Amino acid sequence: MASEEALQRFYTVLAAVPAGKVITYGQLAAQAGNPKGGRWAGYLLRHLPANSNLPWHRVVNAQGKVSFPEGSEAALRQIALLEDEGIEFSNSNRINLKRFGAV
DNA sequence: CGCTTGACTAACC
DNA sequence: CGGTTAGCCAAGC
């Protein structure tokens, strides 16, 4: 089914994101075959298998920011992982997608 | 089958 | 730049 193929592409693309780079939900969904599946990407990431080695932390929204409320443990964890990979954050926890964008 | 919800995005004001 | 509206996708009830 196309859905399963899209899902496979989604995981493939996500796994293909190099360390030190980030990708937006929209781009991720677009490369997975759903140019308008931004929400779909978010849904999948949210229901991601716990024992997967997928770099979910390299996925940020179009604003170059974490899609979690600032201060939340999930957001802090993601930011910490990204910084550990060399990603730099601006004064507002924003990432320069022009520099760190995987696309 | 139809409405609501959600880790989204772009356009508009 | 912040708040609102509309569009899209898939899952849950």
Taking only the tens place, the pLDDT of each residue in A72-102 is: 999 999 999 999 999 999 999 999 999 999 9
Q: CA A40 → CA A6, A29, A32, A82, distances in Å?
A: 10, 7, 10, 23
Q: Are A32 and A13 in contact (CB under 8 A)?
A: yes
Distance A9 CA to C11 C1' (A): 19
Bridge partners of A89, per DSSP, are A95
Report the footprint of strand B: residues with C-beta closer than 7 angstroms. Answer: A 24-26, 38-43, 45-46, 48, 56, 59, 61-63, 67-68, 74, 78
Band of pLDDT at residue A50, cut at 50, 70 and 90: confident
From the list A94, A30, A18, A96, the residue with the least C-alpha distance to A58 is: A18
Considering only CA atoms, name the residue closest to the C1' of nucleotide B7: A42
Please report, rounded to whole angstroms, the spatial distance between the CA atom of protein residue A43 and the C1' atom of nucleotide C9: 9
